[in-house]
Amino acid sequence: MTSYEEEIQEHRLETFQTRRPTVFELEEILFEIIPVLDHGFIRLIDYMGNDSAIVQAARVSYGRGTKKVSEDRGLINYLIRHRHSTPFEMCEIKFHVKMPIFIARHWLRHRTASVNEYSARYSILDREFYIPDPLQLASQSLQNKQGREDVLEGEEAARVLQILKEDSARCYDHYEEMLNERDDGTPLDPNRHGLSRELARMNLPVNCYTQFYWKIDLHNFMHFLSLRGDQHAQYEIRVYAQKMIEILKRWVPFTFDAFMKYRLEGVPLSRDALKVLKKILKGEKITQETSGLSKGEWRELESMMEVTLERES
C-alpha cells in the first residue's frame, strides 16, 4: 500500500460525533476512490445538507419541515420544475478529482465552483497519460463540429494509439531531462541544475493527468451534471458526470428523482417548437419548411419525439 493509499485509509477509519444531519449512503463512500478512465478518479471529500435542508430553506422553517415525506417530495419537484434555485444552494458537496488536463480545461469552464488545482510549478507531474480505449477512437462528425462518428479500425486505429503512446513517453522523458529530476525527486545528473518546474511543464501534452479539489453548491452541481451527463457531452467528461450522478442519488434521493425527471431526461421546448407540437396534436400536416424551425431545430424535435416528421419532397 502506498503512502497516498494509507492516508486515504486513515481518513476512512476516522469517525466524528456530530449534531448536523448526515447521509448514511454518502458516509459509506466518503474518501473512497472511484476509478474513472485509465488513471483518473473521483473521491468524495465532504458534503453539507440533504433533501430536508432544501425543504427547510424553501419554507424558511425550523426543524425538519413537514412530517409527510410525500409533501417534501412534491415540494422539491415543484422547485425544480419551476426553476427555483436558492433552496438548492443551501447544500454543498466537495470532491477530489483526477483527470486528463484537456478534460480539466473543459471542466473548469464551469465557474460556479471553488477550485484548488495541483501545481506543476511546485510539484512534478506523474508519468501518467490518458490513452483512449480503442472503442473511443472515432472519426470527426460531419454534422457536429464538436462530435464523433464512426470508430477507427485496423491499421489506422493502431497507428493513432502508437502515436499517442510514443509522443506521451517522449515528452515526459524530455520533461525529466529539462528538470534534471526523476518523479521521485532524485537528480538525473548531479553536475547540472536543470530547468525550473514552472518552465519545464510547458512541454507536457494535455493528456497528462492533473487533479484538484472542487466544491460546489447543489444548484450549480445539477447544472453541471445536466450538461456533462448529457448523451451529447464528450465521452471523457461524461463518464465522470455519470459517476457523480450516482453520488447525487445517494446524497439527495428526492432531488435526484426530480433532476432526472425534469432536467436530464426532460426536454425544454422553444416557443416555436411548442407551436409545432400543438399543430401536430390537432392533426395538421406540417413540414420543416412550413414550421418556422431551422433544420437543426427540426432534427432536435424529431430526436426528442423519436419519430421522423414530414418533409417537403
pLDDT at residue 123 is higher than 50: yes
pLDDT category at 127 given cuts 50, 70, 90 is very high
Arithmetic mean of pLDDT over the chain: 89
Taken in order 38, 39, 42, 43, the sign of the CA dihedral is: positive
**Does 312 score more than 70 pLDDT?**
no
Give the percent of the chain with pLDDT over 70.
Answer: 94
Rounded to an integer, the average pLDDT of 151-168 is: 93
**CATH code for the domain defined by 3-123+209-264:** 3.30.1360.170
Non-local CB neighbours of 181 within 8 Å, separated by 6+ positions: 124, 187, 188, 194
Cβ atoms within 10 Å of 86's Cβ, excluding its own = 12
| pLDDT computed for residue 63 by the predictor | 53
pLDDT digits (tens, 9 = 90+) for 203-245: 999 999 999 999 999 999 999 999 999 988 999 999 999 999 9
Q: CA neighbours within 13 Å on the CB side: how many for 57?
A: 16
Q: What is the mean pLDDT of residues 12-40?
A: 90
266-311 tens-digit pLDDT: 888 889 999 998 988 898 888 888 888 998 888 888 888 777 776 5
Q: What amino acid positions are annotated as catalytic residues?
A: 228
Percent helix, strand and coil across the chain, each rounded to 5? 50, 15, 35
